Structure 1
Amino acid sequence: MTETVRMRDLVGGAVDRLRYEPTAKRVRAEADGAVVALTDRAVLVWEPRRVVPAYAVPVEDLRGGLAEPPSRPAPVADDGTGFAIPDVTELRVLDPRVPFGLHTAPGEPVGVRVPGSDRVVEGFRPADPALAGHVVLDFDDCDAWFEEEEPLHGHPRDPFHRIDVRAGSRHVRVSAGERVLADSARPRLVFETLLPARSYLPPEDVTAVLVPSETRTWCAYKGEASYWSVETPDGLVPDAVWSYRDPLPDAEQLRGLMCFFDERFDVSVDGVPRARPVTPWS
């Protein structure tokens, strides 16, 4: 008899392994106006516990060749490093906020020269035979990345990660204690792989006192997010609401809408309270 498996458990069960996936996309990395890497043979690589991929490039496709790795303090991991996503894995996962230099797979740190410059980009050469001859590049150490001629932001896109935006009619209420912060029956609902569903609400349905924040983050799928802090009876909750003012094409339906972190407030949907999810943003 074939044993069934929930897909979430299948994915979560592989988080502790070195994972890779070749891509047919032409990939280009640039720094200081020069091409650092240009390849039709890139491989997406997830080190153990990493939840977003990095690009690995054949050594022959590195325009400046290899060098000594940049002299930087090595990140130190302990039992508290990483973030909990208990609905996916018991391990503490490493999201993009954990520095590239913290490696969880055997291998060798290397540098990648930027042509025509003294600059060296941080890289990593995994010891696994499946990735022999490849160097994983630190996405943030380069100035720009492209798949074909489309720019990438934040990190490479995961081909097994998707975002579905749906117009909804559910009644969504967000509260802090007895104070109602938002009340809407016209949310845009976002269903994103391995993450809790999010409700994006029209600004006119938000009654919270919002304080603009200088914080900005990039989502590889939705674009640059602007943030607000929220005044509550218990004080200011920092960077608790976000919006995409100029979203990427896949998230155009979210333009100008506002989303609260369910992790930090009381949320009810059609009158039914929702448990606060546990995520890296809790």
Structure 2
Amino acid sequence: MALAMDKLIRSQLGELRWAPVLQRVRAFAGGAAVVDSTRVRLVWEPHRVVGSYAVPREDVLTELLDAGPVAPADSHPPVLTPAVPFGVHTVPGTAWDFGPADGRQVIKGAGFTPQDPDVDDYVILDWRAFDEWREEDQVVHSHPHDPLKRIDCLTSDRHVVVTVDGETLADTRRAVLLLETGLQRRWYVPRDDIRMDLLEPSPTSTSCAYKGDASYWSFRSGERRIEDVAWSYEHPLHDAVPVTGMLCFYDDRVQIDVQA
């Protein structure tokens, strides 16, 4: 029987996984490099959906201080998103503090080495423990880049209509279809084809490692209000340049109809 690749990948969520990272990766704290490596791996602990950079121990530029053994968490959600702290580990291993250098303080719990022969000479790095990350000389936002993920932005003349309780909010044949590995398809609509008088800016913001910082919009018509019904990338990273300034709507908050 043929294998569906998306199901195959999801079936391995409970395993410790790794993939090579071909670019140089650096982590900074206090303006100075603390990690500098060209031998990087992306490592996913069991049940984590976003990987963490891991480097050989000798590529940590400060002293590694053994913070003691770590046992797997007694309980955890079935899927660990980036919202779950780095310190929640799902395999046994060793925690590391990063020693002081150039006047900086010790960085507590910044690293973890799993008890596994394929990665036991590597240190997995806590994204939030550092001020800045770079791949080669490009700043990386939000979380590590996944070498198994890609984004495609495709112009489309399909008829996309967005409604709320029968009221048309957007109507276009100039949408851009954004496809991102592992996520549902998204339709981005030009503002000229949207009833912008029914939308108002929201204070909500999020960040994506591939698309950049997103701004949000809420719907208001009479007494009807829907918070954060859409988002846009005003200054996107290069993967999302084709959707600059366009709006994308949550399909669980509005009705989105797409026809050929």
Change in 2 beyond 3 A, CA 1:268/1:101: same
For residues 121-160 of structure 1, the C-alpha deviation after alignment (integer angstroms, 9 at most, x for no partner) is 5221111111012111111221111111111111111111
- Whether the aligned pair in 1 keeps the contact of 2:66 and 2:94 (CA below 8 Å) is no
Separation in 2, partners of 1:119, 1:234: 53
What secondary structure does 1:9 align onto? helix
- Whether the aligned pair in 2 keeps the contact of 1:113 and 1:120 (CA below 8 Å) is yes
Alignment of 1:129 onto 2:127: no
Q: Which residue of 2 aligns with 1:18?
A: 16
What secondary structure does 2:252 align onto? helix
Change in 2 beyond 3 A, CA 1:212/1:197: same
For residues 170-192 of structure 1, the C-alpha deviation after alignment (integer angstroms, 9 at most, x for no partner) is 11112222222222111000011
Q: Which residue of 1 aligns with 2:34?
A: 36
Separation in 2, partners of 1:15, 1:244: 30
**Aligned AA (2:50):** V
User: Gaps spanning 5+ residues in structure 2: where?
Assistant: 68-72
TM-score after normalising by structure 1: 0.83
Name the stretch that deviates more: 260-269 or 231-240: 231-240
Report the CA distance between 1:25 and its aligned residue: 1.3
Separation in 1, partners of 2:7, 2:100: 41
Q: Which residue of 2 aligns with 1:177?
A: 165
Separation in 2, partners of 1:108, 1:232: 55
Alignment of 1:259 onto 2:248: yes
- Whether the aligned pair in 2 keeps the contact of 1:66 and 1:112 (CA below 8 Å) is yes
Matched length: 254
- Whether the aligned pair in 2 keeps the contact of 1:34 and 1:115 (CA below 8 Å) is no
Alignment partner for residue 113 of structure 1, among 91, 99, 102? 99
Alignment of 1:93 onto 2:91: no
RMSD: 2.3
Q: Which residue of 2 aligns with 1:246?
A: 235
TM-score after normalising by structure 2: 0.90
Alignment of 1:269 onto 2:258: yes
Change in 2 beyond 3 A, CA 1:200/1:114: farther
Change in 2 beyond 3 A, CA 1:185/1:26: same
Q: Which residue of 2 aligns with 1:72?
A: none
Q: Which residue of 2 aligns with 1:5?
A: 3
